[in-house]
Structure formats: structure tokens, C-alpha cells
Amino acid sequence: MNDFTYKLRQFGDVEENVSFTRLTTYKAGGTAHYVVYPRSLFDLQSVLGLCAENGVEYKVFGNGSNILCSDEFYDGVIIRLNRFLNQFHYENNELVARAGCYIIALAYDAMKNNFSGLEFASGIPGTLGGCLFMNAGAYKVSMSDVVTQVQVLMGNEIVWLNNEECEFGYRSSIFQKHPEWIILAARISLKPGNKEEIQKVMNARQRRRFETQPLDMPSAGSVFRNLEEHFAWEYVDMIGYRGKNIGGACVSPKHSNFIVNTGNATGSDILNLIEEIQRQVQQQFGVELMMEVEKFNWKN
Ligand SMILES: Cc1cc2nc3c(=O)[nH]c(=O)nc-3n(C[C@H](O)[C@H](O)[C@H](O)COP(=O)(O)OP(=O)(O)OC[C@H]3O[C@@H](n4cnc5c(N)ncnc54)[C@H](O)[C@@H]3O)c2cc1C
């Protein structure tokens, strides 16, 4: 065991040479040298210090449900908060949760406690940190509609940002401009409601997702951002790419803004298909389809 690995192990659970097929919902990509699950905030800070001292890169992963990894080796540290930094509690009508919580688990817990507000998020397979980074949303509601404050680690400082300071927009936030910040926790404002009514709404949304999205296959949800005049899937349909495949990557026949991994897609298969769609849409309609999914560990 080298010195770096030995020290890293002091700050949390560590796995070495982990395939990105295990770290992302696309189940595709190369290998990460290290994955660390810090046991506490102090340990997280120590991991960051250790990376800085040794000139080792790091990247925070939530549930990897919005990330497309290259097939290359990543000689750095993937930091995950979901194993230990995942506690939550209620303060009156507010849910105070750490970034490693899964948003689906929070939505179900809020429902069980007769709190309304997170129904929209009950089918989004991300962590609170990833959902805030993306301002995730569905059914015209987003994280920005329910979050009052976000706790962020900025260098050695821990800062609470209020909602306006997070600069939330459509699938965007200030956190995308500051990849070096780490989201630690958030306060979510909920309304008293009726458990049965809330569950009914969540069940209906879940049924709708199963009917309209390829949830039985690995994907990262919507690949492209919607535009003002059209949904992204309409452009994919207009170029005739519904069902189109490259290697193991396929535009879902069920929802053409989803690209699914049919079993053995590489990161490159998925990216090639994405880029071919972008080229065709640009050529045929003069429209630039922007990726909603984030590329990670690509050389260019
Ligand atoms: C089947 C399916 C359905 C989906 N449906 C929806 C939907 O309805 N609406 C929607 O908006 N999205 C949807 N998504 C996409 C995805 O779930 C969201 O974008 C989600 O917010 C990503 O969260 P994550 O924890 O997986 O983040 P990751 O994909 O792991 O990371 C995304 C980004 O957030 C950053 N990040 C994560 N945690 C932190 C942290 N603590 N501090 C700082 N940065 C952090 C990462 O570095 C990365 O840049 C869907 C995906 C799938 C697979």
C-alpha cells in the first residue's frame, strides 16, 4: 500500500480501481483509481487537504445519475458522501438534510411524516448534492422552489447560501460555476399535508414515469436540455433517430431524449451517438442541442 492510499484510508472507506460502470447509472466508462467515502466533515476536509498536498485530482460524485464518463483511467479520487454524510432531521416545517441523502428517500420520508413539497422529486435517482448542483426538477417544480438554504464548503470555510445566492435557473446553479465547492447540506421548506393524498400524487407520477421512460435500462435521464420552442425529444424524432444505435448505445424507442445502455455500451458509444444527434439537428434545423448530462474525464 503506498503512502497516499494509507493516509486516505484514515479518512473513510476506500476502494481502489473501481469501474465507472459501478459509479454511474449509465453503467459505462473506464476506471477510477480511488473512491473514498469520508466518515465525517472533518474527514472530508482531510481528504481534500491530502489531495491538494499530493497534487491529486478529485471529483465529488452523488449517485452518478447525470454523468457520462470516458473509457479512460481516472488517476484521481472520486469522493462520495452517500455512505456517511447522509443524516437528516426536521425542524418545524423544514427538512434539514446532508448532501449524501438520496432525494427519493427524503421524498418518501417527508410523505410518511405528512409533509408535502418533495413529490416532484420522488422519481429522481440523485442525491441531494447532485440535485442542488443541477437544480433537478420535474412537473414544473425544481429544487429551487423548495430549498431555502444550502450549506457549502468553500476552501476551508463553511458557508450557508440563501436561495437567491444559489443563482438557480433551468437545470443550473451557481455550483456549476464553482466545481471546487462542495455542497454539504440544505434546508428544504415543506408544507403540512395528508400522507394518503401525497402518496397518491407520488404513485401517479411513478406510474407516468414507468409508462413514458425506459426505467428498465441504464441511462442518465434526459440527455439534452429542452429549448424554449421545442422539447429536445422532438428534434431527436424530427431527425428520425428514435431507436437509432451506435455500439451498445441506443436512443430509447420509448423516450427519444433518453439514450440507454443496451448491455455493453462504452462511454464513447454513448458520446458518439450524442454528438451525431447534435450534428444532425444543427445541420437540419440550425439548432444547437445542449447536453444536460455532464461529461467527465474526457480529454477534450
Ligand atoms: C432514470 C432517470 C431519471 C431522471 N429524471 C430526472 C428528472 O426528472 N429531473 C431531473 O432534473 N433529473 C433527472 N435525472 C438526472 C439526475 O438524476 C439528476 O441530474 C440528479 O440531480 C443528479 O444527481 P446525482 O446525485 O446522481 O449527481 P451526479 O450525477 O453524481 O453528479 C452531478 C453533478 O453534481 C455534482 N455534485 C454531486 N454532489 C455534489 C456535492 N455534494 N457537492 C458539489 N457537487 C456535487 C457532481 O460533481 C456532478 O458535477 C434522471 C436520471 C435518471 C437516470
For residues 19 and 58, membership in a common domain is answered with: yes
Q: Is the CB of 151 under 6 A from ligand 1?
A: no
Q: From the candidates 171, 173, 187, 219, give the one annotated as an active-site residue.
A: 171
| Nearest residue to 192 via CA among 88, 274, 111 | 111
| Nearest residue to 160 via CA among 169, 149, 171 | 149
Question: Given 80, 111, 128, which residue is the final one in a domain?
Answer: 80
Which atom, in ligand 1's list, is nearest to the CA of 171? 11
Which atom, in ligand 1's list, is nearest to the CA of 184? 41
For residues 73 and 109, membership in a common domain is answered with: no
SS3 68: strand
Question: Given 45, 61, 80, which residue is the final one in a domain?
Answer: 80
* CA gap 125, 292 in Å, rounded: 15
Does residue 167 sit within a domain?
yes
Residue 229 has what pLDDT?
A: 87
Distance of CA 132 from the midpoint of ligand 1 (Å):
8
Does residue 223 sit within a domain?
no
Q: Which residues of the chain have pLDDT under 50?
A: none
Residue 2 has what pLDDT?
A: 85
First to last CA, the chain: 32
**Does the annotation count 119 as an active-site position?**
no
Ramachandran region, residue 195 (left: φ > 0; alpha: ψ -120 to 50; beta: rest): alpha
pTM over 0.95: yes
For residues 127 and 199, membership in a common domain is answered with: yes
Q: Is the CB of 221 under 6 A from ligand 1?
A: yes
User: What are the percentages of helix, strand and coil residues in the chain, rounded to 5?
Assistant: 30, 30, 40
Residue 1 has what pLDDT?
A: 67
Q: Are strands 12-19 and 157-162 parallel, antiparallel or unpaired?
A: unpaired
Which atom, in ligand 1's list, is nearest to the CA of 131? 21
**Does the annotation count 171 as an active-site position?**
yes
Query: What range does the domain containing 181 cover?
Result: 88-211
Chain centroid to CA 30: 18
